[in-house]
Amino acid sequence: MAGASTLKRVAKGAFYKAGGVGMARWINRKGLRILMYHRFSDRDALARQCAHIRAHYAPITMANVAGWLEHGAEVPENALAVTVDDGYRDFYQVAYPVFREYGIPATVYLVSEFLDRNLWLWVDQVRYAFLHGQAHTPGLDTPQARQRAAYEMTEAAKRIPNAGRLRLLAGLPDQLQVTLPLEAPPGYEPLRWDEVREMAAAGIEFGAHTRTHPVLSQVAGAEELGDEIAGSKRQIEQQLGRPVDHFCYPNGSNEDFGVEAVEVVRSAGFRTAVTTESGLNYPGADRFRLVRIGVVPGLDKDYFERCAAGFRV
C-alpha cells in the first residue's frame, strides 16, 4: 500500500510538471463544467478557488446554460457554472461576498419549506439527534461513533419509501433521548427571504430543490411529486416575484429520481435540472439531467484544479 501511495504522488508530480492540468483543460475546453457546492466556512479558501476560476475559465449562468441547450446559443470555451445546493445561510455570510468580489455568477437551489422555517433539513436532524442524544447506547460512546451512526442511518433512510423515512425521523428523538429544536439551530440555519431577494437583485440566480428535500424516487406518486417539485417553484416565485427556471434533484444520483420526476420537472416549466452525477456536459446534453462536479472550499488546491479541468488522478 505504501508503495502504491508513493507511486501515486510521483505520478501527480509528473502530471503537474508536464502541464497536465492545462492539457486536461484544453482537451475538455468544449465541455461545460458545473461545480456543485453545499456549505461554506472558509472565505480565504473559497477566494483562492475563485481566483483560479477567474484566471482559467469563463463563468456563465444557468440561464446561459439553458439558452445553449435549448436553441444553440453560444457559450465560451472552458465555460463554468457555479451551483449551490440547499440554501444554508452561510452562502450569504461567507460565499456571496466572495463570488461578488470575483464577478462569478452562482445559482442557489432552495428547499422552500426550509426557508419558510417550517422544517430544517432532515439529514441535519439525524446528525443533531445522534450528536446530542442522551441515550447510553452501546457503540455510541464517542463523537466519531455517533457521527458514523448518523451517516449510516441517513444513507439507509434514503433507500426506503418517504413515509417510512418520516416515521423513522419522528421516532428518533425518543430513541436517542434528545429534544430537537423546532427551528434549525446555529450552524444549520437557512437563508432568510430578505437576503434571497437582496442577492437576486444583485444577479444571483435561485432555483428550486423541492419543498422538503425527499428522495424523489421514494415519494408516493404523481401528486406528491408535483407538490414537491412544482410546489417549491411556486413558493420561491411568490417570494421573488420572478420566474424560477432551474431545478436540482435532492440527493441527485440516477437512482434517486426516475423518468416520472423528470417529466414533472419538464411540465412544471423548468428550463434545466441538475443531478449529482459527475462529469462534463457537451452540446446535445439532456438539460433535465445535467451532471456536475462536487467540490468544497477546503479541497486541496491541486485536486480542485484537476476537478475543474475535468481530470482527476
Q: What is the pLDDT of residues 96-110, one digit of tens each?
A: 999 999 999 999 999
Q: What is the pLDDT of residues 198-226, one digit of tens each?
A: 999 999 999 999 999 999 999 998 999 99
Q: What is the mean pLDDT of residues 289-297?
A: 97
Q: What is the pLDDT of residues 64-85, one digit of tens each?
A: 999 999 999 999 999 999 999 9
Residue range(s) of every CATH 3.20.20.370 domain in the chain? 2-119+184-309
Identify whether the C-beta of residue 205 lies closer than 8 Å to the C-beta of residue 187. no
Percent of the chain whose pLDDT exceeds 70:
94
pLDDT grade for 313, boundaries at 50, 70 and 90:
very low
Q: Is 111 exposed, middle or buried (0-12, 13-18, 19+ CB in 10 A)?
A: buried
pLDDT reported for residue 168: 94
pLDDT reported for residue 139: 75
283, amino acid identity = P
2-119+184-309 is a CATH 3.20.20.70 domain: no
pLDDT grade for 13, boundaries at 50, 70 and 90:
low
Which residues neighbour 201 within 8 Å (Cβ) at sequence distance 6 or greater? none
pLDDT reported for residue 299: 95
Please give the Cα distance from 265 to 230 (Å, whole number).
7
Please give the Cα distance from 46 to 163 (Å, whole number).
38
Please give the Cα distance from 270 to 32 (Å, whole number).
19
pLDDT grade for 5, boundaries at 50, 70 and 90:
low
60, amino acid identity = I
pLDDT reported for residue 242: 96
Q: If we measure between CA atoms, which residue out of 297, 280, 272 comes closest to residue 109?
A: 272
pLDDT reported for residue 256: 96
pLDDT reported for residue 17: 54
Q: What is the mean pLDDT of residues 119-124?
A: 97
What does pTM read for this prediction? 0.93
Residue with cell 445553449: 68
As a whole number, the mean pLDDT across the chain is 93
Look up residue 310 and give its three cell numbers.
475535468
Question: Is the per-residue pLDDT at 15 higher than 90?
Answer: no
Question: Is the per-residue pLDDT at 8 higher than 90?
Answer: no
pLDDT reported for residue 311: 83
Question: Is the per-residue pLDDT at 267 higher than 80?
Answer: yes
Contacts of 95-98 with C-beta under 8 Å, sequence gap 24+, read: 95/37, 95/40, 95/46, 96/199, 96/204, 97/43, 98/43, 98/46, 98/47, 98/50
Please give the Cα distance from 70 to 292 (Å, whole number).
19
Q: Please, what sign has the CA dihedral across residues 305, 44, 189, 124?
A: positive
Look up residue 301 and give its three cell numbers.
488546491
Q: What are phi and psi of 201, to 5 degrees?
A: -65, -25
Q: What is the mean pLDDT of residues 31-38?
A: 98
Q: What distances in angstroms separate CA 135 from CA 83, 153, 169, 170, 177, one per listed residue?
A: 39, 16, 16, 16, 5
